[in-house]
Structures are given as structure tokens and as C-alpha cells.
Amino acid sequence: MKRLLSLAALALLPSSATAADQVLGMTSSPLAWACIVIFVVAYCLVMAEEQLHLRKSKPVIMAAGLIWALIAFMASAKGVSHEELKSAVMHDLEEYAAMFLFLLVAMTYINAMEDRQIFATLRCWLITKGFNYFGLFWITGILAFFISPIADNLTTALLMGAVIMAVGEGNPRFITLGMINVVVAANAGGAFSPFGDITTLMVWQAGKVEFFKFFTLFIPAVVNYVIPAAIMSLFIPKGRPMGVQVQSQIRRGGLMICFLFLVTIFLAVSFEKVLGLPPFMGMMTGLALLMFYTYFMHIQGLTSGRRLTARPHGPEETKMDVFKEVAHAEWDTLLFFFGVIFSVGGLRYIGYLDVASESMYAGLGATWTNIIAGVISAVVDNIPVMFAILGMNPEMDTFQWLLITLTAGVGGSLLSVGSAAGVALMGTSKGLYTFVSHLRWSWAIGLGYAASVWVHFLING
């Protein structure tokens, strides 16, 4: 549940033009072809993670190592010095290190909020309110749309998915439609916020779009969600679920931690916009605030004589150790990003991204390439798609960078395997939400995808 991230970034530091522009220009080499095969095989294993029970980080880390080992042989044959080769590797390391710190802080805050039962309390409130199926369909979808920009599409989908499974027991039709609705809403909600999805953060941190410009995607994102939701709502069964009695309360300090998370986001933006510093510096400063707050919580508990144990008539006062929340970060996700960055970075260094940019952006044009890239992200995760496009660095204006941000963010909704939210809910729905059940509604989701692109041209073009 802690694969986050929609509150993350892959390219948080601008690197030197010299390192970024280095390419071997050996795309026709048999060793270069082997690099392509290695990456494709690794990513096929990533896509089959649920079936193979193989963590997604393992194949891409192996691929990254093999690709750069082959690159070293090619570079040596071409007479490239070790210093130049190391410079190319350090270019990718700089991006990964900044992403790692940014992502680790975001994960720690989300873990801390889970520990304080923020999400569990919201879930219990929804379950006990007695809404009918139609109301729950729209409430869970709308909440997913607005929670995703702050949290991430995976955590949001799991939260709302737990509500749907709890209240929809015995009504598989509602569960299926509710799950699809949540996936679409969570992906659409992350598309208009710089912190809502990894791809939006990548574009922002790469300096392609200013922070507040992303919010011009709000209306296209709403259209992307509302059209398929309105169509599916016509098929929601009538009636209301049976009452479910559950209880949960926010633990001590929970609301303050939520406030500190908002302060941390503000610091990340301010460090970048006002001070000209990388956003991860603001995030790390925000992590320090969380550390000091948990320290004062502990001191207050000791001086007031409180027992840091469960109380019979209130939320648990369990001691909170921020370093345990750091340890509980989703390390599989962090290492997966390492593999993606270094694998795609290796292909860029060989020269493949330049070839792809020339054939796609120069041949098809930016608009059609960006729209097609969004559809591709339904099959191949939007992270490597966006990272590859940033590696191509095509000449595009703000409007086109916003377009690829939108399409890459919402394109994953077209298939259940196109986003982390869809994959996670397939694993928790006990067979009620599947690839085929989602595919039956892909036409409605496709209408929302096309309409959101059209609205983006209409209001932002």
C-alpha cells in the first residue's frame, strides 16, 4: 500500500549541458541492439509482476547494470575515456539522488499519516454514513480525484477501494464499476497538480512548465473523469448497502502531521521559485520539521505522565518513531526508479532517444506524438515514457508540454494495467475487478481521454 507516488519526482536537478548532450551515436552496433533487448525483457518482467511474484525493482536494476556494462565496451571501442563515461553515469546519478531524497520524504509523511490513522478514519466515516450505491459511486470518485493531487494515485485508489469493497459486499456489479471509477478519478486528479503524479513532477522539475501553469489542466482533468463516470453511473445498481459498523479515530498528532505535510510542500515550491534551490532541499527541511515534532510529542508524553499505550476510550497514544516511518518506505519503488533512470539513461547515451525524437516529433509532429504517447502509457508505464521524452528533449512550447503531461497522466486509465492504481486494485478486489472487466469500459474512458485533449486545445491552445 505504500508504493507512493504520486508525490515523487524522477528528474529533480538540472544537469550540465555537457553531460546531457553526450551520446555515443552507436545505435547500429550489435551491443546496442542487445541493450534494447535487455530493456524490453526487463520491462516485460515488470509488467508480469503480479503473475510472477517478482518485485519490479529486480529486473530493471539488473537491466541497468547490464546495459551500462555493454556501453562501457562500446565506449572503449570508440576511444571514449573513462572520465567521459563516468560523467555520463554521474548525469543519471544526479537525477536519481535528487529524486530519491524527494520521494523518501513524501513516503515518510504518508507513512506517518497512516500511522496516525488519518486514512483509516476517513474510510470509516464513509462506510458508516449510509449512502446509497449511486451516492457512494460519486463520492468515492470525487474524493479520489481531489485526494490524488495531494497523496498519490496508488494510496488514493487503495483507500477508496477499501471503502468500495466494504460497502459493496454481495454486489459485484457495484464493486466493478466503483473500482474502475476510482482508477480513472485517481489518475485524472494527479494530472493537474505538480505533486499529483510522478510525471507531472518530472516535467516541473525539468523546468518545462512553471508550477502554477499545471493548474490550467484542471478542467481537462475534470472532463477526463466526469465523462466515463457519468456513463458508468447509469449502470449503477439501485438500493443501498447494509450497514457496516467500524470504528477508527485519528491518533494524537495526526492533524498536525497533515499540516506539516502541507508546509513541506510549500517549502519545496518556495525553495524552487523564490530561492532558486532544488525542491528536494525544501522537502528535506520539511522532514526535519516532522522529526522535531515527533520528538516534542515524545517529550510531552513523558512530562505529562501519559502512558504511550492504547487507551480504552480514545485513540492510541502509541509512540511514533520517525525513523521507523523512513524504514517503512517502499524501497521496491525507490530501487525501481533507479533501474528505470539508469536503463533509459543508458539508451539515451547510446543515441536511441535522439533517433526516436527525430522519427516521432520531427515526423509526426508534437501534437500527435504526445497523444500517442499517452495511449502507449496504458501499456507501458508512464514513468519510462515521460523519462524518455524528457531525454529526447524535443523543442516544444508550454502548451505541448502540458499536453504530454495530461496524456501521460490519464492515458494509463485506458487499461487496468496502465497505472499503479489499476494494478493494485486488481490485487485487492478478489477477482471482481479484472483486466477484462476494465476493458469493457475502455471505450467510455477513451471518450474521456479524447474529450480532455480537445478541451485542453479549446481553453489552453
Rounded average pLDDT over 40-58: 78
The 3-state secondary structure of the chain, one letter per residue = CCCCCCCCCCCCCCCCHHHHHCCCCCCCCHHHHHHHHHHHHHHHHHHCHHHHCCCCHHHHHHHHHHHHHHHHHHHHHHCCCHHHHHHHHHHHHHHHHHHHHHHHHHHHHHHHHHHCCHHHHHHHHHHHCCCCHHHHHHHHHHHHHHHCCCCCHHHHHHHHHHHHHHHCCCCHHHHHHHHHHHHHHHHHHHHHCCCCCHHHHHHHHCCCCCHHHHHHHHHHHHHHHHHHHHHHHCCCCCCCCCCCCCCCCCCCCHHHHHHHHHHHHHHHHHHHHCCCCCHHHHHHHHHHHHHHHHHHHHHHHHHCCCCCCCCCCCCCCCCCCHHHHHHCCCHHHHHHHHHHHHHHHHHHHHCHHHHHHHHHCCCCCHHHHHHHHHHHCCCCCHHHHHHHHHHHCCCCCHHHHHHHHHHHHHHHHHCHHHCHHHHHHHHHCCCCCCHHHHHCCHHHHHHHHHHHHHHHHHHHC
**Mean pLDDT across the chain, nearest whole number?**
79
| pLDDT at residue number 2 | 36
| pLDDT at residue number 402 | 92
Q: Does 215 have pLDDT greater than 80?
A: yes
Q: Does 1 have pLDDT greater than 80?
A: no
Q: Does 184 have pLDDT greater than 80?
A: yes
pLDDT in tens, 220-275: 999 999 999 999 999 998 877 765 555 667 788 888 888 898 888 788 878 877 78
Q: What are the CB-based long-range contacts (under 8 Å, 24+) for 302-310?
A: none
Stronger pLDDT, 49 or 214, i.e. the higher one = 214
pLDDT in tens, 329-350: 667 777 877 887 788 788 888 8
pLDDT in tens, 371-401: 988 888 776 667 767 777 887 778 888 899 9
Stronger pLDDT, 441 or 149, i.e. the higher one = 441
